[in-house]
């Protein structure tokens, strides 16, 4: 699966090979289930919520809607751990208002699934803290 910028027709990302998507997707849900069972500090909740978003979008299991689903999973995890107050965290709006940074920060992790370097995802992870700072 290739993600292509439709304006420039340049490849933006090459997702997991179809042969391994099912395995990666299954592992994603196993790890997510494990996270849901843990008692996490607030900062850990935010960290894992964004990491869930990042890992899902990098697996890229669907032809369309991966980013929307990743953002929904992020919000769902926040709500699962923080309760109703998660509704008031405007991450979706922040990502929309900072869409170029959103894509640039995703790209820093890697352009090919086989060569991802999640340790380079810190700028992406920090977007939520920037969102929270902007809100205050």
Examine the pLDDT at 125 and tell me if it is beyond 70: yes
Mean pLDDT of 86-107: 92
The pLDDT-based confidence of 136 (bands split at 50, 70, 90) is low
| Residues making up the chain, counted from first to last | 136
Q: In whole numbers, what is the pLDDT of the chain averaged over residues?
A: 91
Nearest-10 Cα torsion for 66, 18, 103, 111: 170
Q: Is 88 helix (H, G, I), strand (E, B) or coil?
A: helix
DSSP-based three-state secondary structure for 13: strand
Q: State the residue for tokens 């997707």.
A: 25
CATH no., domain 11-135: 1.10.3290.10
Q: Is a pLDDT exceeding 80 seen at residue 59?
A: yes
Residue 69, both tokens: 């689903």
CA distances from 18 to 15, 24, 104, 117 (A): 9, 10, 25, 20
The C-alpha angle 54, 100, 93, rounded to 5 degrees, equals 70
User: What mean pLDDT do residues 92-120 have?
Assistant: 92
Q: Are 26 and 14 in contact (CB under 8 A)?
A: no
Q: Give the model's pLDDT for residue 94.
A: 95
Query: Percentage of residues in the chain with pLDDT exceeding 70?
Result: 98
> Residue 81: what pLDDT?
97
Element (H, E) at 117: none
The dihedrals phi and psi of 7, each to the nearest 5 degrees, come to -80, -45
What is the mean predicted confidence (pLDDT) over 11-17?
80
């Amino acid at each position: 699966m290739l993600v292509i910028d439709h304006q420039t027709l340049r490849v933006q990302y090459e997702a997991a090979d179809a042969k391994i998507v099912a395995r990666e997707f299954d592992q994603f849900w196993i790890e997510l289930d494990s996270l849901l069972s843990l008692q996490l500090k607030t900062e850990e909740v935010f960290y894992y919520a964004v990491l869930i978003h990042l890992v899902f979008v990098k697996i890229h299991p669907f032809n369309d809607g991966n980013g929307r689903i990743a953002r929904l999973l992020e919000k769902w995890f926040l709500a699962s751990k923080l309760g109703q107050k998660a509704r008031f965290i405007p991450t979706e709006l922040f990502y929309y208002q900072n869409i170029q940074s959103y894509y640039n920060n995703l790209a820093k992790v890697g352009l090919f699934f086989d060569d991802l370097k999640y340790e380079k995802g810190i700028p992406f992870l920090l977007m939520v803290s920037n969102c929270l700072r902007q809100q205050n």
